[in-house]
Amino acid sequence: METVGNTTAPAGAVVAVTGAAGAIGTRLVELLLTANGPATVRAIDRVEISERPGLKVVQLDLATDELDSAFMGVSTVVHLATASTPRVDEMANAQGELEILDRVLAASAAAEVTHLVVLSTAMVYGAWPGNPVPLTESAPIRPNPDFPWAATRARVERRCQEWGREHGVSVAVLRPTAVVADGLLGDLARALDSARQGIAADGDPPVQYLHIDDLVSAVATVVGAAFSGVANIAPDGWIPPGALAELEGPRQRLRAPMWVVGQLAEVRSRYGLAPISAGVLPYTASSWVVANDQIRSLGWDASYSNEEAWVVSHEPHALERLPARKRQELALAAMVVAGLGAGSALIAAIRRWSRRLT
């Protein structure tokens, strides 16, 4: 993995990484160890992590275990033990995540930590008609209300920033766009991709994709610079709708009003046919692409462009290997089935409305 920018922590700094066993945490620990040498990184997670010379591993549950001793002697905390990707049951998990955050912040205060880095998302800006292209860090925080994962990220940001002001701690909030990896669309990227297929909402906004290695190098750069503030994380520019269509190849897509697509998406979500809630739909219809000037000013640069990140993450599925005529026939059949499902959902909604009036 190529690293760009200053990833070296200040002399004598000890960096604690929560969620160190996750996809982002594992990569970050390795990068920080390479840049800073042994005995400078503390990996914290509830699952087992292999011990090695120079790396202190603390295995505990952030939700229930005593935390003060785990953070003692730490100068920087990188809090990755958050829901870094959305889930269908986000509402059920949001409160538990905020309680864990409060416990981490309390332990960090007791340890007199001087720098906190927390991962958020560019989705906190919301996807709204008329959004500037691109959005800068000065844009208002307006997550779409029907997408609770983005709303929870905004709450996480506010709590960390308020805590930082109260305790005199510098806080860095990172807002990455949709993250992908080699041969793998992340949960968010996969949900956005799924929502653009078949019966899709009106609108063709530009899109951005961030390779996970570039996200990790951005986190390490922020740690090395002891950066305080908000930084969007994305490659330069974005993929325009026409260019995205060329990357995706031929796809049958039926356009429909948002409320119709929303009814269908609710049915898909209810029966486990969609990766996450229907609240993601506005993010496929209006732009939320971001500018990266802030993180670039720290010396960071992406190793993968948006297009390169999309290409390396995309594995053609079985349908894409079929002849074009067969793909078209299957896609048309799928749209008919989806249309029937949307019609059924609409009829059910009308019946419920009628019952409330009688």
Q: Is residue 50 part of a domain?
A: yes
Task: Give pLDDT, residue 334.
Answer: 44
Q: Is residue 223 part of a domain?
A: yes
3 state SS of 139: coil
Q: How many domains, the chain?
A: 1
Half-sphere exposure (Cβ direction) of 250: Cα atoms closer than 13 Å: 14
Q: Rounded distance, CA 19 to CA 151, Å?
A: 21
Lowest mean pLDDT among 49-53, 113-117, 174-178, 208-212: 49-53
Task: Give pLDDT, residue 87.
Answer: 58
Summarised one tens digit per residue, pLDDT across range 221-255 is 999 999 999 999 999 999 998 898 888 776 666 67
CA 97 remoteness from chain centre: 15
Percentage of the chain beyond pLDDT 90 is 56
Instruction: Compare 89 and 18 and report the one with higher pLDDT.
Output: 18
Lowest mean pLDDT among 153-167, 252-266, 336-350: 336-350
pLDDT of 318 strictly over 60:
no
Q: Is residue 7 part of a domain?
A: no
Q: Is residue 316 part of a domain?
A: yes
Task: Give pLDDT, residue 329.
Answer: 47
Task: Give pLDDT, residue 247.
Answer: 84
pLDDT of 350 strictly over 80:
no
| Section 15-31 average pLDDT | 95
Q: Do 229 and 294 touch, CB atoms closer than 8 A?
A: yes
Q: Is residue 5 part of a domain?
A: no
Check which CATH number belongs to the domain holding 284 and give it: 3.40.50.720
Task: Give pLDDT, residue 226.
Answer: 94
User: How far, CA to CA in Å, does 18 sit from each of 32, 96, 97, 110?
Assistant: 14, 16, 13, 16
**Band of pLDDT at residue 7, cut at 50, 70 and 90:** low
Q: Rounded distance, CA 329 to CA 239, Å?
A: 28
Q: Is residue 358 part of a domain?
A: no
**Cis peptide bond upstream of 235, omega within 30:** no
**Band of pLDDT at residue 320, cut at 50, 70 and 90:** very low
Residues in a beta bridge with 172: 117, 229
**Band of pLDDT at residue 328, cut at 50, 70 and 90:** very low
For residue 349, which amino acid is it?
Answer: A
- Structural domain including 50 reads 15-351
Q: Which residue has the tokens 């999309």?
A: 310
> What percentage of the chain's residues is helix, strand, coil (to nearest 5)?
45, 15, 40
Q: Rounded distance, CA 297 to CA 9, Å?
A: 17
Q: Is residue 109 part of a domain?
A: yes
Q: Rounded distance, CA 266 to CA 286, Å?
A: 20
| Section 253-270 average pLDDT | 67
Residues whose CB is less than 8 angstroms from the CB of residue 95 and which lie 6 or more positions away in sequence, other chains included: none
pLDDT of 167 strictly over 80:
yes
Q: Is residue 10 part of a domain?
A: no
CA 280 remoteness from chain centre: 12
